[in-house]
Structure 1
Amino acid sequence: MKPPPFDYHAPRDLGEALAVLAGAGAGGKVLAGGQSLIPLMNMRLAAPAHLVDINRLTGLATIEADAGGVRVGALARHAAVERSADAARAQPLLRSALRQVAHPVIRNRGTVVGSLVHADPAAELPAVLAVLGGSVRLARHGGGQRDVPAGEFFTGPLESALRPGELAVSAFFPALPPRAGTAFREVARRHGDYAMAGAAAVVVLDEDLRIVSARVACVSAGPVPVTIDVSQVCDRRPAASADWAAVAAAVRDRVDPEADIHATADYRRHLTGVLAGRALRAAAREAAGDGRDAGEAGEPSDG
């Protein structure tokens, strides 16, 4: 199928891009990687009047990592962020999740910020931004910018806080405190497919290696990434003896996924609990300095 007619714009700098978007209003869509937008247009599920191609704005292809975290520019490709050693040191959860995104050919073209703006609750990166408490920076014509925290950015399935005329210019993924660990787990029918369920986890320990903070963001568990704090369930236990089955049950009780052709709601709820328990346990191991990680295949069931 072919997309409906549209006006194509190829701005050569950020100011021009923002001016075009301001003029296009609600009829404008940004083309960066195009891995989601172009199929939607071809199936006529999206019909923008103006397509604003930002691929000439090479100054947005940045990956900046420091002790505070990682800021990813709007044109930074999945593959570039996945390969960045500096980004992986500052925030290892990014690389863990990116390895689960689609296939290499998609990651070579798709962008991290574009995935966030697409706001698919079955995608990996919205969950990562949510569990880390990150933010997306939005710019508009006239020089105005605003940073929208993840908890406010995702407003519904394929819906974000991006307003007509705005451009998402970067996303920020905060670094973690000392004695913190992360992990990402998901299950898909085939590697590279959207996940039937998944979990991005962050665990923080105190000096005695007791769990002081544990939270998880669930994939495909609701209309937006579902972020759940299970610190109280962990009850400040040592990481090595936490009741991960109880943690998994707590997550199951707090998600309300929908059924589809791939899974019933009950199965997806059960799977979300299992994956959350596994991800949190792996994150706790990492935080405690235990490099062992059984991965998806070798881990026992969490109920």
Structure 2
Amino acid sequence: MKPAEFDYVRTESVTEALELLRDNPDAKLLAGGQSLLTLMNLRLARPRLVIDIGRLGELTRVFDDVDRVVLGALVTHRAVETDPLIGARAPLLADAAGYIGHIGIRNRGTIGGSVAHADPAAEMPLATLVCGATFHVESAVSGRREVPAEDMFVSFYENALEPHEMITWISVPAIRPDQGWGFVEYAHQHGDYGLAGAGCLVTLDARGRVHTVRAAVLSAADRPLLFTETIDAQPGPTLWDELAHTWAAQTEPAADDTDYARRLCASALTEAMSAAARRALRVEDPAHVRR
């Protein structure tokens, strides 16, 4: 199937893109096009105007900002996967990006586009949620505002943005020395949509005991689900198993076999928390969980 008829404009600046969004409420932004073009070909999306922001180089930058790393909305998944600053300061994002499709998709798709698409099976919404990212949003109508990741994802392919708004920057807290991360995804084969997946940050106290666990799962509801727990416990399989099964029971997977989906979810959570704890404790991982 071919897309419905539409007009196309390539913008030269953020200001121009915002003005076009203001004047065309049913317009859609085109970044990498990995999500939007598929929906248009299926005629699930029928924008009258497509605004191409793919050449706004100012939004492809990555820079360090004291205790945060800041990414432009047009940073590609491949750049998230390979950029040394992101790998050092936000390694969960880098790990998650490596699971997205194939390298051709990662070379084109962008972190801002994935977040705005709000697919509950996607890796970047989950990873930004676990990391506690903040999305910097701009509009020619209402100016600038910040949207915490916890408030961005509303339902299936539905975000908290107004039609005249666009994500310009994403601010991600840098991982701390007392934290470890883990990301796990199960799919029929690499590059497929994940049947289940989990990302996790584990924070230890000065005694090496677990202080907080922050985890999220994909393909388990109409949006990525976030779970947090503040505890005082020894890290180990018993704790991970208990938390994983408690959280998995709260999911609402859109699957024919929900029990199987929840078991996969629990397994992904257990594996992600175990990997996060090993990294926080600086214990070598013999399975080489990070790719």
Per the normalisation by structure 1, the TM-score is 0.91
Deviations 1:166-206 (A, max 9, x none): 11112222113331000100100111111000000010001
Deviation, 1:294, is 2.3
**Superposed, which structure 2 residues align to 1:180-259 within 5 Å?**
180-232=179-231, 236-240=232-236, 243-259=239-255
Decide which of 271, 282, 286 is 2:275's aligned counterpart: 282
Q: Give the SS at the match of 1:239.
A: coil
**Superposed, which structure 2 residues align to 1:1-303 within 5 Å?**
1-25=1-25, 27-141=26-140, 144-232=143-231, 236-240=232-236, 243-260=239-256, 264-292=257-285, 294=287
Range that drifts further, 164-173 or 40-49: 164-173
Q: Is the 8 A contact 1:240 1:285 kept in 2?
A: no
Deviation, 1:51, is 0.3
Give the Cα separation in 2 of the matches to 1:290 and 1:169: 37
CA pair 143-163 structure 1, distance change in 2 beyond 3 A: closer
Q: Is the 8 A contact 1:230 1:250 kept in 2?
A: no
Give the Cα separation in 1 of the matches to 2:85 and 2:22: 35
> Residue type matched to 2:155 in 1?
G
> Residue type matched to 1:20 in 2?
L
Give the Cα separation in 2 of the matches to 1:243 and 1:55: 45
CA RMSD of aligned residues (A): 1.7
Deviation, 1:218, is 0.5
Give the Cα separation in 1 of the matches to 2:229 and 2:184: 17
CA pair 146-106 structure 1, distance change in 2 beyond 3 A: same
Taking only the aligned residue pairs, the percentage that are identical comes to 39
Give the Cα separation in 1 of the matches to 2:58 and 2:103: 24
Deviations 1:249-288 (A, max 9, x none): 212222221215xxx2111111101110110111011001
Deviation, 1:55, is 1.8
**Partner residue, 1:300:** none
Give the Cα separation in 2 of the matches to 1:244 and 1:168: 35
Give the Cα separation in 2 of the matches to 1:294 and 1:230: 26
Give the Cα separation in 1 of the matches to 2:85 and 2:212: 25
Give the Cα separation in 2 of the matches to 1:265 and 1:36: 26
Q: Is the 8 A contact 1:282 1:293 kept in 2?
A: no
Give the Cα separation in 1 of the matches to 2:89 and 2:270: 24
Which 4+ residue blocks in structure 1 deviate beyond 4 angstroms? none
Deviations 1:99-128 (A, max 9, x none): 111100000000011000000000011111
Q: Is the 8 A contact 1:130 1:217 kept in 2?
A: yes
- Structure 2 spans left out of the alignment, 5+ residues: none
Number of equivalent positions: 290
Q: Is the 8 A contact 2:22 2:141 kept in 1?
A: no
Deviation, 1:85, is 0.3
Q: Is the 8 A contact 1:239 1:288 kept in 2?
A: no
- Structure 1 spans left out of the alignment, 5+ residues: 297-303
Give the Cα separation in 2 of the matches to 1:67 and 1:291: 28
Q: Give the SS at the match of 1:243.
A: helix
Q: Give the SS at the match of 2:233.
A: coil
Range that drifts further, 186-195 or 65-74: 65-74
Deviations 1:59-89 (A, max 9, x none): 1111123442222112211111211101111
> Residue type matched to 2:22 in 1?
A
Give the Cα separation in 1 of the matches to 2:230 and 2:238: 11
Q: Is the 8 A contact 1:239 1:285 kept in 2?
A: no
